[in-house]
Amino acid sequence: MTELVVGTDAAESSDALADYLADVVDTDDTLYVVNSLVGGEDTTGGDVQAGERAIQVVVDRMEELPVTVETHQFVRGNEPVEDLLAFAEEVDADEFVIGVHKRTPVGKVVFGSTAQNLLLAADRPVRCVPLVE
C-alpha cells in the first residue's frame, strides 16, 4: 500500500498526472490530491474554482480504478510547496507525484518553481510527470 500526495495546479496538469497514475497505482494505494492557493488578495474566486476543477479531473479519471482518492484544497497563506510538505508529513505519505513544466534557467529564477523547491526540500521520493506546454 502506497500513499501518494498528488500536487496539482490546473486541469491540464491534472490530466497528465491522471494519465501517469492510471498506469502505476495499485488497488490498495491512496491518492491525496492537493491544490494549494496562497489566499487573501492574491487569490480570486476564479482561482479557487480552477483549483477545484484541477482536483476534480483526477477524481473523475480515477473513478475507473479501484483506488482510494481523498481531496484537499488549501487556502491558508502558504506557498504550495509548504502546503505539500506539511500535508505529506501529516498523513505520513510515502511519495509525491507532481507535474513539471519545462522552463528556461532564467524562467526558473524569475518565476520560481514549486517542483524545484519540492525536490530540494522533500524528505521522501518525488515522482515528476512532464507536462506538455
Does pLDDT of 120 surpass 50? yes
- Taking the whole predicted model, whether its pTM rises above 0.85 is answered as yes
Residue 133: is its pLDDT beyond 70? no
Three-state SS annotation for the chain: CCEEEEECCCHHHHHHHHHHHHHHCCCCCEEEEEEEECCHHHCCHHHHHHHHHHHHHHHHHHCCCCCEEEEEEEECCCCHHHHHHHHHHHHCCCEEEEEECCCCHHHHHHHCCHHHHHHHHCCCCEEEEECCC
pLDDT at 105: 65
- Work out the average pLDDT over 98-120: 74
Q: What is the largest CA-CA distance in the chain?
A: 42
First-to-last alpha carbon distance for the chain, in angstroms, is 33
**Fold entry, domain 3-130:** Rossmann fold (3.40.50)
Question: Which of 96, 19, 97 lies closest to 57 in space, CA to CA?
Answer: 19
- For the chain, which residues make up each domain, given as ranges? 3-130
- Buried b / exposed e over 52-79, threshold 16 CB at 10 Å, is eebbebbeebbeebebebeeeebbeebe
Question: Does pLDDT of 36 surpass 80?
Answer: yes
Q: What is the mean pLDDT of the chain?
A: 90
104 or 130, greater pLDDT: 130
Highest-confidence range of 38-52, 69-83, 100-114, by mean pLDDT? 69-83
